[in-house]
Amino acid sequence: MDEIENGSPEEVSKEAQQETVKKSKKPIIVAGAGVIIVGIAIGLGLTALAGPTKLEGAVETCGLINSSFTSLDEDGKGLFLEGEGEESSGIAVQSSLCVLEELEMPDSILSRISNTTSSMGQQEGSWNDVTILWNYHPNNGLDISFNLN
């Protein structure tokens, strides 16, 4: 009578297997979602632990965080310093030099910046993972754009 109510042994076996497969799929999906969530949390945690970028640190150290002549990208990988000129407001050359020093700029690039004239147009230099573009005019000052590679 058991076989009539529950089906043949083969049918019971198939039903039991299907039920086992259904049950085993759910934990795998849940476990997979858990792994993704943990992975995202770890990624966010590492980003938070990474701290400020070199540019963010240099801007803070040199006291330029609230300067209206300093533009720092949201991701901290780009920076623009607008220099003070004879006919324009901006940050003093000493402030720009502070940022360059914090970024450990080589003396060879400092020499090139110091010898830039208004007729030379935009100049470029790079070291480690920093690239800068600059131009100079006595009326507008020294403008420098920084990018982290």
| Confidence band for 17, pLDDT divided at 50, 70 and 90 | low
Note if the pTM is more than 0.85: no
Q: What is the SS3 assignment for 144?
A: strand
Task: Give the per-residue pLDDT at 50.
Answer: 75
Distance CA 55, CA 147 (A): 9
Q: Are 52 and 75 in contact (CB under 8 A)?
A: no
